[in-house]
Amino acid sequence: MGIREKFAERFPVADVRPVATPTIPGPAGAPTGKPIASPIRLRRLPVERQWPAWFIVAFQATILLVGIGAWETGAKLGWIDPFFWSRPSAIFATMLTFFTAGDAMTDIGFTFRAAIIGFVLGTSAGTALGLSFWWSRNYAMLAQPYIVCFESIPKLALAPLIILVFGVGLSSKIAIGVALTVVVSTLTTFSGVKSVDRDLERLMYSLGASRWQVFCKVVVPSVLPWGISVLRVNIGLALTGAIVGEFIASQHGLGRAILYAGQTYEIALVWVAVLVLSMLSIAMYLGVSRLETVLMRHIKR
């Protein structure tokens, strides 16, 4: 039985005819019969069946376990050189000693503090600078090339200089974090300022509002979502700044731990520090996401 017969059986009323092929009409309007396109084909809408959530989680866990297992076996069988790559069991053992014996909390605390302070300072300074451009178009035009230039500098290239100026302590790590975050915030906030609805400003002026009132009641609330969108980017940048600072010169911090372990061929310790750093990064990212949701709720659109 052909497809047409089957279809007719299931839907007896439906009159299934072959779809007409489009043709070019001749000069007198009569179709020449010459097709301009291949015949229309009916396709099913591509739809992917969704897996249940538990299956996805289980799948993910399996991939992780298989990966770790392969690493461990590979190291045991000599496919992977454990001198360079270490192995999961050694990393786990080192993790335990790292948290029990060493001054792990000092290092974590140091890196965490540097990242958070750099993040807060850089983001708030950048936001304030970006908002300030609303006050004067001339001033904004004047400042723009400098901002763009500063943005184009690879800020990490300045890190050695920053260490020289601010010393090997916490302040130099914060300064690198600020250098990385401040421009992002400034540029994003400035974009926000440029997109403020002119009509809302005009409405406020027509009500006799002062510039300060327009700034507080229109500009700041309008720009806020832009400022918030930059938070997640900045927390990552601030952490990068802190680690690079610690790489160059430091007495504490996870970045220093990584560098030190690498130089003494304690590869397991490198992995431990990297893992802890990832955890820290995830924790800060989640914290900022939470902050974002709370702030966004207040300026509900």
Partner 1 sequence: MPTPKIELSGVSQEFEKPDGTVFHALDNLTIRVDAGRFASLIGPSGCGKSTIFNIIAGLQQPSRGGVIINGRDATGMVGGVGYMLQKDLLFPWRTVLDNIVLGLEVRGVSNQEARAYALPFLHKYGLGGFEHAYPSALSGGMRQRAALLRTLLYDSEVILLDEPFGALDAQTRSRMQEWLLQIWQDFGKTVIFVTHDVEEAVYLSDEIYVMAARPGRVIAHLPVPIERPRPREITLGRTFMRLKEDCLNLLNSFEQHAEAA
- Tell me which residues touch partner 1 (CB under 8 A): 197, 199-200, 202-209, 213, 217-218, 221, 298-301
Least Å from the CB of residue 299 to partner 1: 5
Count CB neighbours of 192 within 10 A. 24
Least Å from the CB of residue 224 to partner 1: 8
Residues contacting 245, CB < 8 A, separation 6+: 114, 159, 162, 163, 172, 173, 175, 176, 177, 255
Given a contact cutoff of 8 angstroms between Cβ atoms, the answer to whether 179 and 225 are in contact is no
Least Å from the CB of residue 301 to partner 1: 5
- Which CB, 209 or 275, lies closer to partner 1? 209
Q: What is the DSSP string of 22-77?
A: PEEE-TTS-EEEEESSPPP---PPP-PPPPPHHHHHHHHHHHHHHHHHHHHHHHHH
The phi and psi torsions of 261 (rounded to 5 degrees) equal: -65, -40
Looking at residue 185, its amino acid is S
Least Å from the CB of residue 292 to partner 1: 16
Least Å from the CB of residue 231 to partner 1: 18
- Which CB, 6 or 211, lies closer to partner 1? 211
- Which CB, 9 or 199, lies closer to partner 1? 199
- Which CB, 121 or 224, lies closer to partner 1? 224
- Which CB, 95 or 196, lies closer to partner 1? 196
